[in-house]
Amino acid sequence: MPDSKFQQFLTRENAAVVLVDHQVGLYSGVRDTGLLELKHNVVSLARAAQVLRLPTVVTTTAADSMWGPLIPELTKVLPQGTDVIDRSTVNAWHDSRVHDRIKATGRKKLIFTGISLEVCAALPAIAAAAEGYDSYVAVDASGTFSDTKRETGIVRLQQAGVIVSDYATLMVEILADNAAPEAGETYEALDMAFAVLVGQISAAYSRQS
């Protein structure tokens, strides 16, 4: 078995997702990417995680005061009754409820996203890595308030040994087999433009033949 986390693949059995501070107030300050694309990516990640039955931990900061509730697009796709942990700590890993819930998943590979990238996603990912977890950050399902923050945040993640990737690659890696019964639903959840187009072409070809 590979002895480096950089060589070990994500699976349905070893991975969990942690969504940090995807809140209305924080989204209003995002400047490094388009809001529609950012919302699309985090919602698609959350939907695919459900198809693949990945444990998902959701947390906010000061939702009743500073930063507001989860964005409605994300709330809509989360399973009914999802317990969102609202906290005061800057680093989500330092809230015992968040830490304990992640630990209770039994998963050692953690996929983080957050607003902002360099704080809400990066800090818990780095803290988790320091405790022996394999941390990943889906950068295109995270956002921040300037290009400089994005660039320096990614550098810091890499310096700390956190694996940086994109939302669709992480989920497809977990899917692993395009012949799996969940493959179609997974790609539908990911909602990648080219995959949708290929599906339409394939369906049209099937009708003709």
120 is catalytic: yes
* CB neighbour list of residue 165: distance below 8 Å, 6 or more residues apart: 136, 137, 138, 139
Catalytic residue among 19, 58, 120, 128: 120
Other residues' Cβ atoms within 10 Å of the Cβ of residue 103? 12
Asked if 52 and 171 touch (Cβ cutoff 8 Å), the reply is: yes
* CB neighbour list of residue 191: distance below 8 Å, 6 or more residues apart: 40, 44, 47
Q: At 20, phi and psi to the nearest 5?
A: -115, 115
Largest Cα separation within the chain, whole Å, is: 59
Active site residues: 120
